[in-house]
Amino acid sequence: MKKLVALFLTATLTLSMLLSGCGAAGGNGGSKKVGVSMPTKDLQRWNQDGDNMQKELQAAGYQVDLQYAANDVQTQLSQIENMISNGCDVLVIAAIEGSSLGEALDMAKSKNIPVIAYDRLLMGSDAVSYYATFDNYKVGTVQGTYVKEQLDLDNAAGPFNIEFTAGDPGDNNAGFFFNGAYDVLKGYIESGKLVVVSGQKTFEEVATPSWATETAQSRAENILSSFYASGTDLDVWLCSNDSTALGVENALAANYNGKYPIITGQDCDIVNTKNMIEGKQAMSVFKDTRTLASQVVKMVGQILNNETVDVNDTKTYDNGVKVVPSFLCEPVFADANNYKTILIDSGYYTEDQLK
């Protein structure tokens, strides 16, 4: 009887370890566990990022603890601390607010757990090992250059009216996006060829907390009713991403009867891509999260195998404590003319998804 009990307990313990993710895992990853912290499921892109990351890491043989924090900083902090306590060997973190995770980062450092900041730089900590993102300043320059070329600013007489909607002030990337676009257009604004009718042209004035569509829409409605209600035409509304662009598009549909403006975006969300096809949005910068996920999985493997980690920028991304070694992927833009090649032919979307 004692032998039977012992065998039963051994079998139960083994099953428990397998179900809890302990013990050996298949593939090259062995028993290594990677914690992936994403900010929210409310934006399409983060769902895609999380799914891509999980698939890539599992295919490489790693255990994955993927958590979404519902855009709540304390939730994200608690989730990351749990990942550390549960034995994650590497952390990949897309922060809600880059400066709000200090306690968790200190905890990771104390346990010698490497941290990769994913798409949003983690600020104010020396515990950040690497940063993987797209070239965020270039995202803005792609948007600004698109506007410049569509209006033929070097040759057209103008003036043209423009408004700006930027992203979340708690997201370090938002400043890079805005500055990249503004730097392309600044000379035309200073010369008077581009006119910001509302006068709102600093990042602080045009920022959108949490990248919220509703917040962007409310601000756009106020601008339209205050400055464009008497028949003044709006030529461009430069939006840093698709969720804010959607807010502007909603506001235009309800509060504007003039010439329809060029509207920029970023992420190629499905609803925005449909709007591009229908002429309600001019373009969206495409950041193929499959590329970013693949790069991060490669970096995770290099870290765990004690290999040299691929980076291509060691100067740009200063988090206030250190310059974080970074890998920057290249963004491109999609519009009504090339979206089939960029989004459908590449397998990112199917034609049915965009109907």
User: What CATH topology corresponds to 136-287?
Assistant: Rossmann fold (3.40.50)
- Quote the pLDDT of residue 42: 86
Q: How many CB atoms lie within 10 A of CB 333?
A: 21
- Quote the pLDDT of residue 98: 86
- Quote the pLDDT of residue 43: 81
Query: What residues contact 186, with CB distance under 8 A and at least 6 apart?
Result: none
- Quote the pLDDT of residue 26: 34
Domain residue limits, the chain: 23-128+288-329, 136-287
Q: What CATH number labels 23-128+288-329?
A: 3.40.50.2300
Nearest CA among 294, 218, 211 for reference residue 45: 211
What 3-state DSSP class applies to 69? coil
* CA 241, 101, 296, 133 torsion-angle sign: positive
Which pTM does this prediction carry?
A: 0.78
Sheet hosting strand 130-134, strand order edge to edge: 63-68, 33-38, 90-93, 115-118, 130-134, 326-329
What 3-state DSSP class applies to 230? coil
User: From the first residue on, what is the mean pLDDT of each consecutive set of 10 residues in the chain (355 residues)?
Assistant: 40 37 39 94 87 91 95 95 96 93 94 95 96 95 98 96 96 94 98 98 97 97 95 96 98 93 96 97 93 93 95 94 96 95 94 93
Structure tokens at 78: 């608690």
Say yes or no: do domains 23-128+288-329 and 136-287 share a fold. Answer: yes
Question: Rounded to whole angstroms, how far apart are CA atoms 104 and 94?
Answer: 13
